[in-house]
Amino acid sequence: MNKIKLLITDDHQVIRRGIATLLEDELDINIVGEASDGIEALEKIKNLVPDIILLDISMPKMGGIETAQMIIKNKLNVKIIIFSMHNSEDYILKSIESGASGYVLKDTTKEELLFAIKKVHEGEKYFNTKISEIIINSISNKSKISTILKIDKKLTKSEKVVLKQIVNGLSSREIAEKLTLSVRTVDNHRAHIMKKSGVKNTAELVKIALNENLV
């Protein structure tokens, strides 16, 4: 079995070493390196080719959100998990918009961190209940978006069912299991919904769905 190659990025050596020590005995994880800021992380991604990068938000030279944006912009083949002490909606939403596949708080358990890493490695998103609540509450408290997209009339009945599950925070695999569909079918529905709504990512889709009372 191929191990998950992990790059740990945090400006505090104690935290980097702590994470490494926590995960070093895991048989399916290989910690390929550490970085102390975003600039160093970008260089190590090119040299070490990790599968996943754990990114702190507050770092000197280049923080986690900017680093995530650079990873996406440069099409670097690595999945991003933000690993931060910040649970503010601003940081969380900006992280999602920047391309992060997961957001894990530093006070988490080893079990949750491992679950997040494996989930993201499988191509899924990971946001625990606390983070999901912050996202939903943030979106719900914002004023109605200026450009109203009447996508409810464009969606098929099946697409509306899938959209509801997306808003509930379920991954494609979880939706497939719940609705007795194939993952490919769910992914196709997701792609059609995104295209019809004219959005670029899931965060924007959820925002529109909630603001327009589509689910």
For 46-73, the pLDDT digits (tens) are 999 999 999 999 998 999 999 999 999 9
Range of the domain at 162: 145-211
Looking at the structure, tell me whether residues 60 and 151 fall in a common domain.
no
Q: Quick check: 71 and 42 in contact, CB under 8 A?
A: yes
Looking at the structure, tell me whether residues 129 and 166 fall in a common domain.
no
Burial annotation 110-129 (CB, 10 A radius, 16+ → b, else e): eeebbbbbbbbbeebbbbbe
CB atoms inside a 10 Å sphere around CB 45? 23
Q: Out of 97-101, 127-131, 167-171, 201-205, which region has the weakest mean confidence (pLDDT)?
A: 201-205
Q: Quick check: 22 and 48 in contact, CB under 8 A?
A: no
Task: Indicate the average pLDDT of the chain.
Answer: 85
C-alpha 20/C-alpha 15 separation (Å) is 9
Residue 15 has pLDDT above 70, yes or no: yes
What letter would DSSP give residue 78?
A: -
Parallel, antiparallel or unpaired: strands 102-105 and 29-35: unpaired
138, 170, 191 - which closes a domain:
138
Looking at the structure, tell me whether residues 96 and 116 fall in a common domain.
yes
Looking at the structure, tell me whether residues 101 and 127 fall in a common domain.
yes
- Residue 116 belongs to what H/E stretch? helix 110-121
Looking at the structure, tell me whether residues 192 and 105 fall in a common domain.
no
138, 171, 192 - which closes a domain:
138
Q: Is this model's pTM higher than 0.75 or not?
A: no
Res 141: pLDDT = 53
Q: What percent of the chain has pLDDT over 70?
A: 88
In the beta sheet, which residues pair with residue 79? 52
Res 49: pLDDT = 96
Residue 156 has pLDDT above 90, yes or no: no
End-to-end CA distance of the chain: 41
Looking at the structure, tell me whether residues 132 and 149 fall in a common domain.
no
Q: Out of 37-41, 49-53, 69-73, 143-147, which region has the weakest mean confidence (pLDDT)?
A: 143-147
CATH of the domain at 163: 1.10.10.10
* Mean pLDDT, residues 28-52 taken together: 95
Question: How confident is residue 97, by pLDDT bands cut at 50, 70 and 90?
Answer: confident
> 38-48 and 64-73 helices cross at what angle (nearest 10)?
40
Looking at the structure, tell me whether residues 125 and 152 fall in a common domain.
no
CA quadruple 121, 70, 46, 23: dihedral positive or negative? negative
Looking at the structure, tell me whether residues 23 and 129 fall in a common domain.
yes
Q: What percent of the chain has pLDDT over 90?
A: 51
C-alpha 136/C-alpha 202 separation (Å) is 12
Render pLDDT for 202-212 as a digit per residue (tens, 0 to 9).
777 777 676 65
Render pLDDT for 107-127 as a digit per residue (tens, 0 to 9).
889 999 999 999 999 988 898
Burial annotation 152-173 (CB, 10 A radius, 16+ → b, else e): eeebeeebbbbbebbbebbbbe
Looking at the structure, tell me whether residues 159 and 207 fall in a common domain.
yes
CATH of the domain at 38: 3.40.50.2300
Res 139: pLDDT = 61
82, 115, 138 - which closes a domain:
138
Name the residue with higher pLDDT: 203 or 186: 186
Question: How confident is residue 145, by pLDDT bands cut at 50, 70 and 90?
Answer: very low
What total of structural domains would you count in the chain? Answer: 2
